[in-house]
Amino acid sequence: MDFNLLENAFDYILDAVQQLQGKKPSKKQIKYGLVHLWSGIELLLKKRLMDEDWALIFHNMNKANKKALHSGEFYSVKFDKALERLKEKCEIDIGDHFEVLDAIRNERNKLEHFQISLSKPAVISRLVAAWGFILDFTVSHIDLDSDHTAEKLFEKIKDKMIAHEGFISERVKSIQPELRKIKAERYPYTIIDCPICFQDALILKGETCECLFCKADLDWKSAMEKWIILKEGYHRYHEKDRWNDPFIFECPECEYEALYQFEDGSTAPPDPAAICFHCGVMIPSQEW
Ligand SMILES: [Zn+2]
Ligand SMILES: [Zn+2]
């Protein structure tokens, strides 16, 4: 059975890559770039499930039937469920890629209801991070040899991604002098990876946070919320949902509920264990 899931997946991804390739993509191009990127990713997951068992792409497997499959009139499996089934039925765990995919999914859902504005560096960063997943997943779990059209599309995406990856590495290079300067000055600046563009360039200095890479300018509260969503998951975003397993604590310095325990290696300098999003204070591991 051939439903061209794979060709459709790559078609969407190629469109996303092309929407975003101009010097200055418009709001509309950014919107469709992200929406189509997400559609492509979802289809890619479904394609792998389909290879295992066509019933797996039905949201409700009890209602899986060939007639609905052929007509396309059925609710298909959603992202979380698809990941669950990939793990259970195909022994595939997307591991670290989850963070990036989940962030893109959230953005995509917001796009449906709101106008959001992302800078080109932010959106290309996401695209390149998503490409890391698409490439890994396709090479490891998808049989390209039996579908030449899909294979050609995949090669085309690969070619075009070189320019996007180049854009990111150029930009990473260009912000290095400023990052080095900030690192040399150390306190009170801490640099963490930006929850918008994922680059290690968000300067946390208390009250406001600025990303050197994507130029995001966030107040402390929204930086903290975006960080929680990215690192702890969207389901832990609401305060009442995390009362029995808290990870935001009262800051001994400013007394705001804004102290977060960072993982070792996720901040620089000097790898403190806890940082307050509100006042920017860092508390070394030994003292926390
Ligand atoms: Zn950023
Ligand atoms: Zn504080």
Tens-binned pLDDT, residue by residue, of the chain (288 aa): 456 899 999 999 999 999 999 989 999 999 999 999 999 999 999 999 999 999 999 999 999 999 999 888 899 999 999 999 999 999 999 998 998 999 899 888 888 787 777 889 999 999 999 999 999 999 999 999 889 999 999 999 999 999 999 999 999 999 999 988 887 775 566 788 898 898 989 988 777 889 999 988 899 999 998 888 888 776 666 666 666 667 888 999 999 999 988 776 655 545 557 888 898 887 876 666
Helix or strand or coil: residue 194?
coil
User: Token pair for residue 115?
Assistant: 């106008």
Helix or strand or coil: residue 126?
helix
Q: Among 88, 109, 91, 90, which Cα is nearest to 39's?
A: 109
Q: State the ligand closest to the CA atom of 206.
A: 2
Q: State the ligand closest to the CA atom of 118.
A: 1
What residues does the ion ligand 2 have nearby, CB within 5 Å?
Answer: 251, 253-254, 276, 278-279, 281
What residues does the ion ligand 1 have nearby, CB within 5 Å?
Answer: 194, 196-197, 211, 213-214, 216
Ligand 1 centroid to Cα of residue 68, in Å, is 43
Q: What is the pTM of this model?
A: 0.83
Contacts with 20 (C-beta within 8 Å, 6 or more apart), sequence order: 29, 30, 33, 120, 123, 124, 127, 164
Q: How far apart are CA 76 and CA 271, in angstroms?
A: 44
- Going by the DSSP 8-state scheme, the letter that residue 191 receives in this structure is E
